[in-house]
Structure 1
Amino acid sequence: MIQIPTEEEIYNRLINRYLGITGPMNVDEGSIPYDFLKPTSMEIAEAYQFVLALYYALWVEFADGDNLDLAVSTQGIVRKLATLAKLPTPQLKLVGLSVDIIRAGTRFMTEGTSPMFFVVPEDVRLDGLGNGLGLLVAEEAGQQGNLKAGTKLLPVSTINGLQSVELLADLEGGTDKETDADLRNRYWQKVRRRATSGNAAHYIEWALEVSGVTEARAFENLDGPNTVRVVLLGQNGQPPDSTIVAATRAHILSQRPLGPGDDGIFVMAATPKSFDFYSKVKLLKNFELEDVTPAYKTALGEYLSDLLESTDADDTTRPIVWTKTGALLLGTKGVEDYSNLTINGEAVNSTFGPDEVPVLGAVTLEVMT
């Protein structure tokens, strides 16, 4: 790690060099040398801070925001932007009397003190009984735009004769902008995997390029010869909705250069399986649980992510190895020893199946007495 001098160290170096030229003289606060060299040392210290920031901005593990976007672009990775929630088919039910048509651009909102706003993208014609079905799109991108079937909406502006507006299907597909943590993780997964020529790792890479997908597993030949099953996990550790699953399959089909036919590609939402870890630890001198626990969480998260590497039909159930998690704990800086390590309450290996994705749950450490 790059080390930079403090303002005081810079000032002392300047004073020593100054005295090396002039010989002994007064350099106390208020003296002419002090008044000239102290501001200079302050400016140089700020320049060092800028250099340090620039240094860290070049490294994926330290960069954030726009700097992280630039750092991961060396691998052709682009941050996934937020997407709008929408109805995939006309399932917005409108009921009204003396209403012939709801024009494209008509706005609706949810009930409550903090409403969300939506818009009809195409004209909706009501039949002779006053019923019509239309599409609907959220005005603001993000997960907050996803609504469940049965949600009732209100028109933003009064529409004479309109009696009710209700969703007959889920409004889905809304995703948040990819976080720095998820973008950084996707970068490391890409550089560590050998994705090439349409192998299983390549399917994982393509899946992770879709907004709303944060983890993926791929299995070759699990559903028969010359097939690939891709299992997806969405944002916040939840299964992605059907719109995201469909978008992922479409993206994979557009990217794969060779391999199984369209009917041999199976893409589905995963079931997240949480794993809680507990242990007592003996700490080295000058270390606290606040120092050790976050580092152990990071190591466990990387371990669970590594278990998502592509596999085949002969290895669909993967173990969370108890001894491996113990080795990670013992390798955590500040830990001298440990005891009573458990995974989900048991001191044995735990497992997850082919349609499950491991999610890091609670990590609890206590000091050995």
Structure 2
Amino acid sequence: MITIPTEDEIFNRLVAKYLSIAGPMNVEEGSIPHDFLKPTSMELAEAYRFVLALYYALWVEYAEGENLDLAVSTQGIERKKATKATLPSPQLKLQGASTDIIRAGTRFMTEGTNPLFFVLPEDVRLDGLGNGFGLLIAEDAGQQGNLKAGTILLPVQTVNGLQSVELLSDLEGGADEESDTELRSRYWQKVRRRATSGNAAHYMEWALEVPGVTAARVFENLDGPNTVRVVLLGQNGLPPDASIVEAAKKHILSQRPLGPGNDGIFVVAAVAKPFNFSASVKLDKGFTVEEIASSYSLAINDYFSDLQESTDSADMTRTIIWTKSGALLHGIKGVLDYNGLTINGAAANATFGPDEVPVLGMVTLEVMA
């Protein structure tokens, strides 16, 4: 860990060196030496802070934003950009006057005080009954554009003859830009695993390159000889939608140099399995149960991340170890002791299957009497 001197330390060193050359004299505030050396120490302190920031910017563990982009680029990794939600098929139902044409570029919005905006990419001609079906694209990238079937939309500007607009299927595929935490995690996964010649780690690496995919598990020969199953998890700990799964499969098929044929690769959305943790804790002075719960949540999420690694069919069921979970709780700063730890209501190990990914549910801590 690099350390830098404070402004006062720099000033005192400058004064000492000045006096060693010029001899004894007044260096109190208001004196010529003081007024000369003080601004110099301030500028040098600023330069040291810049050097410190530059130092941390070079390390993946500390870099942020554009500096992190540069740091991970040494491994050929690029931050995943946000993507726009779209309809995979013409399932936007428009009703109005028969034979009218709703022009490409027509904008729609959701109801409410903070509407989301969408655009029609192609003309839609209403039939003799006044019904038409079209595609739709979110104006802004991000997962907020993913809407559920049945959502009613309103035209941003009046469209003569148009009476109603409704989604008949989910608007999907919208994903947020990869966060610093996600990008940093993907970097460490790549450098710590040996991804070569289409092995399991390689399939995981390819899956994680797809926008909207934040975690993956890989199983070889689970669906028969010479097969690979890739289980995907999306943003916010939720299963990715069908369009993201399809994008991941296409990307994997385009990247793999060796291995099974196309019909031997199975790419599926994970089923998020929540795990709830409950316990009583004895706290050290100055700590609150809310602080401990927050720290414990971070520790459990890190533990879950460690469990989400490449594996094969021989290890398809993973175990969340009860004693390990207890050790993590006892290791939280401020916890003196704990009792009654349960995972999903049981004081025992918990498991998740090959198509499941563990996600943290509720952390409920009580102060021991």
Same fold (TM over 0.5): yes
Tell me, in whole angstroms, the C-alpha distance in 2 between the residues paired with 1:285 and 1:332.
14
Taking a change above 3 Å as real, the CA distance of residues 202 and 54 of structure 1, as seen in their structure-2 partners, is same
Corresponding residue of 1:137:
137
Q: CA RMSD in A?
A: 2.3
Taking a change above 3 Å as real, the CA distance of residues 289 and 21 of structure 1, as seen in their structure-2 partners, is farther
Tell me, in whole angstroms, the C-alpha distance in 2 between the residues paired with 1:246 and 1:325.
35
Q: CA deviation at 1:343?
A: 2.7
Corresponding residue of 2:325:
325
Q: CA deviation at 1:83?
A: 0.5
Taking a change above 3 Å as real, the CA distance of residues 149 and 289 of structure 1, as seen in their structure-2 partners, is closer
Tell me, in whole angstroms, the C-alpha distance in 2 between the residues paired with 1:365 and 1:150.
40
Corresponding residue of 2:259:
259
Tell me, in whole angstroms, the C-alpha distance in 2 between the residues paired with 1:299 and 1:260.
38
Look up the SS of the partner of 1:217 in the other structure. Answer: strand
Tell me whether 262-271 or 27-36 shows the greater mean CA deviation: 262-271
How far does the alpha carbon of each residue in 1:159-218 deviate from its partner, in whole angstroms, 9 at most, with x for none?
Answer: 211122111111111111111111111111111222211111211111111111111111
- Relative to the length of structure 2, the TM-score reads 0.92
Look up the SS of the partner of 1:132 in the other structure. Answer: strand
- Relative to the length of structure 1, the TM-score reads 0.92
Corresponding residue of 1:209:
209
| Paired AA for residue 67 in structure 2 | N
Taking a change above 3 Å as real, the CA distance of residues 152 and 332 of structure 1, as seen in their structure-2 partners, is closer
Corresponding residue of 1:197:
197
Q: CA deviation at 1:340?
A: 3.8
1:103 aligns with 2:85: no
Q: CA deviation at 1:20?
A: 1.0
Taking a change above 3 Å as real, the CA distance of residues 284 and 75 of structure 1, as seen in their structure-2 partners, is farther
Q: CA deviation at 1:275?
A: 2.5
Look up the SS of the partner of 1:263 in the other structure. Answer: helix
How far does the alpha carbon of each residue in 1:274-318 deviate from its partner, in whole angstroms, 9 at most, with x for none?
Answer: 233345566789988788666554443332112111222222111
Taking a change above 3 Å as real, the CA distance of residues 313 and 22 of structure 1, as seen in their structure-2 partners, is same
Q: CA deviation at 1:347?
A: 2.6
| Paired AA for residue 122 in structure 2 | E
Q: Is the 1:99–1:160 Cα contact (8 Å) retained in structure 2?
A: no
Q: Is the 1:276–1:361 Cα contact (8 Å) retained in structure 2?
A: yes
Q: CA deviation at 1:34?
A: 0.6
User: Unaligned stretches of 5+ in structure 2?
Assistant: none
Tell me, in whole angstroms, the C-alpha distance in 2 between the residues paired with 1:284 and 1:196.
48
Look up the SS of the partner of 2:127 in the other structure. Answer: coil
Look up the SS of the partner of 1:18 in the other structure. Answer: helix
Tell me, in whole angstroms, the C-alpha distance in 2 between the residues paired with 1:333 and 1:228.
42
Corresponding residue of 2:113:
113
| Paired AA for residue 351 in structure 2 | T
Corresponding residue of 2:351:
351
Q: CA deviation at 1:32?
A: 0.6
| Paired AA for residue 178 in structure 1 | E
Corresponding residue of 1:65:
65
What are the equivalent positions in structure 2 for 1:120-159 lying under 5 Å apart? 120-159=120-159
Taking a change above 3 Å as real, the CA distance of residues 54 and 288 of structure 1, as seen in their structure-2 partners, is farther
Q: Is the 1:99–1:161 Cα contact (8 Å) retained in structure 2?
A: no
Q: CA deviation at 1:23?
A: 1.6
Taking a change above 3 Å as real, the CA distance of residues 11 and 192 of structure 1, as seen in their structure-2 partners, is same
What are the equivalent positions in structure 2 for 1:201-240 lying under 5 Å apart? 201-240=201-240
Look up the SS of the partner of 2:214 in the other structure. Answer: strand
Taking a change above 3 Å as real, the CA distance of residues 286 and 243 of structure 1, as seen in their structure-2 partners, is same
1:314 aligns with 2:314: yes
| Paired AA for residue 128 in structure 1 | G
Q: CA deviation at 1:338?
A: 4.9
Taking a change above 3 Å as real, the CA distance of residues 284 and 161 of structure 1, as seen in their structure-2 partners, is closer
Tell me, in whole angstroms, the C-alpha distance in 1 between the residues paired with 2:112 and 2:9.
59
1:178 aligns with 2:191: no
| Paired AA for residue 122 in structure 1 | E
Q: CA deviation at 1:112?
A: 2.1
Look up the SS of the partner of 1:33 in the other structure. Answer: helix
Tell me, in whole angstroms, the C-alpha distance in 1 between the residues paired with 2:255 and 2:294.
38
Look up the SS of the partner of 1:257 in the other structure. Answer: coil
Tell me, in whole angstroms, the C-alpha distance in 2 between the residues paired with 1:93 and 1:139.
19
Instruction: Determine what percentage of the aligned residue pairs are the same residue.
Output: 75
| Paired AA for residue 257 in structure 1 | P
User: Unaligned stretches of 5+ in structure 1?
Assistant: none
Pairs aligned (count): 369
Tell me, in whole angstroms, the C-alpha distance in 2 between the residues paired with 1:291 and 1:92.
47
1:46 aligns with 2:46: yes
Q: Is the 2:175–2:212 Cα contact (8 Å) retained in structure 1?
A: yes
Tell me, in whole angstroms, the C-alpha distance in 2 between the residues paired with 1:182 and 1:289.
28
| Paired AA for residue 224 in structure 1 | G
Tell me, in whole angstroms, the C-alpha distance in 2 between the residues paired with 1:345 and 1:355.
22
